[in-house]
């Protein structure tokens, strides 16, 4: 036990690592060696007061604003998302993001996950197929972004979500956070 209700395996581990992101104008990507992944929308809105204080929360602070903002920037909806790469610095973070992004109602994440079946590769919404930060270590969401690009390019060997065309990626939890919707052509 680390701090009730979180045990050791409910917390990610800081690691050293790097992820490179190359951003280019859309008209320059057609002759590149790898398929492009497009940023469809970003959500960054802060609706709540920032606080590092612990308390009895009904959700993760700073997930509601970015989630709501994200969906105002696109015509896509949660139903269009094929794979979710959600910040999971602690196990409850991913649950809060599922609810805030509208994949299920508030208080319904446990049922949505369905003992892992709902978020498995063949589930309703594959979640962090690479194991997320809880498995790979904390790169403050950049590992999630890397996995999203691999999923959308179809290069996530051994964990590929069939036909993935739209991915949602989040970072942060309890501090300024963000959400990003990525897509292929």
Which CATH number is associated with domain 8-183? 3.40.47.10
Residue ranges of the domains in the chain?
8-183
- The answer to which of 30-39, 43-52, 164-173 has the lowest mean pLDDT is 43-52
Q: Output the pTM of the full model.
A: 0.92
Mean of the pLDDT values across residues 75-101? 94
Give the pLDDT of residue 137. 86
pLDDT tens digit string along 144-156? 999 999 999 999 9
Place 100 in a pLDDT band, splitting at 50, 70 and 90: very high
DSSP string, the chain: --BTTB-GGGB--B-----------GGGSTTSSS---EEEEEE----S---------SS-TTTHHHHHHHHHT-S--GGG-SEEE---SBHHHHHHHHHHTTSS-TT-HHHHHGGGTTTSTTSSS-B-TT-HHHHH-B-TTHHHHHHHHHHHHT--TTTPPTT--EEEEEE-SSSS-EEEEEE--
Mean predicted lDDT score pLDDT of the chain: 90
pLDDT tens digit string along 116-146? 999 999 999 999 999 999 998 888 889 999 9
Mean of the pLDDT values across residues 48-60? 60
């Amino acid at each position: 036990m680390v701090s009730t209700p979180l045990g050791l395996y409910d917390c990610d581990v800081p690691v050293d690592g790097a992820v490179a992101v190359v951003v280019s104008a859309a008209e320059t990507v057609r002759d590149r060696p790898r398929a492009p992944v497009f940023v469809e929308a970003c959500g960054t809105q802060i609706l709540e007061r920032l606080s590092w204080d612990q308390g009895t929360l009904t959700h993760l602070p700073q997930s509601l604003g970015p989630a709501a903002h994200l969906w105002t920037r696109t015509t896509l909806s949660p139903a269009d998302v094929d794979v979710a790469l959600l910040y999971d610095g602690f196990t409850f973070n991913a649950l809060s993001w599922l609810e805030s992004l509208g994949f299920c109602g508030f208080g319904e994440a446990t049922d949505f996950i369905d003992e892992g079946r709902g978020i498995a590769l063949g589930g309703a919404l594959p979640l962090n197929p690479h194991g997320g930060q809880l498995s790979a270590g904390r790169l403050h969401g950049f590992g999630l972004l890397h996995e999203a690009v691999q999923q959308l390019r179809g290069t996530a060997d051994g964990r590929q979500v069939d036909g993935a065309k739209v991915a949602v990626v989040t970072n942060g939890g309890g501090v300024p956070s963000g959400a990003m919707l990525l897509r292929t052509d």
